[in-house]
Amino acid sequence: MGSHCERLNKELYTLLEKQKTPAHHPQGKQPTLYSRTVNLTNIQFTGEEQKLLDLGLQYNIQKPLKAAWTNLVLESERAIKLLDIRLQDPFHIIASKKLKKLHNTYHHNSTHKRPSHILKQIKLKITSNSAMIT
């Protein structure tokens, strides 16, 4: 088992090293990267809107469901109940602190709202100009 782990660690190390070194291109030319989207209308999109459009039509903007929070709490409680009775109280305290911290950082972080707002702006521009995305 140890030799298998060592082999995997070596492979991982070589892959990481390959990523660190820049790819060499003939005659020092960098490859030309093209935008994923082509705007054939007269609608002007902001930089943020263009970045979101470049992610593609199948890009999914997610925000955690309330059920996920409930599941997290219930699964934590379930795992703690499997511990020895003397260890349960300290782990309840630790779990509650971690869950509160996670909950507070999520609610104070508005980065999950920004893509939704940008998407609404894009939809408004497209519908007001009778354009379509293909």
Please write the tens of the pLDDT for every residue from 12-60: 888 888 777 665 556 666 666 777 788 888 999 998 988 888 888 788 7
Band of pLDDT at residue 69, cut at 50, 70 and 90? confident
Q: Say how many C-beta atoms besides its own lie within 10 A of residue 52's C-beta.
A: 20
Q: Put residue 27 in one of left, alpha, beta given phi > 0 → left and psi -120 to 50 → alpha.
A: left
Predicted confidence (pLDDT) per residue in 117-130, tens digit: 888 999 999 999 98
The pLDDT score that the predictor gives to residue 63 is 66
Return d(Cα 115, Cα 109) in angstroms, integer.
13
Q: State the DSSP code for 53.
A: H
The pLDDT score that the predictor gives to residue 112 is 66
Tokens of 42: 């007269």
**pTM, rounded to two decimals:** 0.46
Whether the per-residue pLDDT at 110 is higher than 60: the answer is no
**C-alpha separations of 42 from 45, 126, 129, 130, 131 in Å:** 10, 11, 9, 11, 10
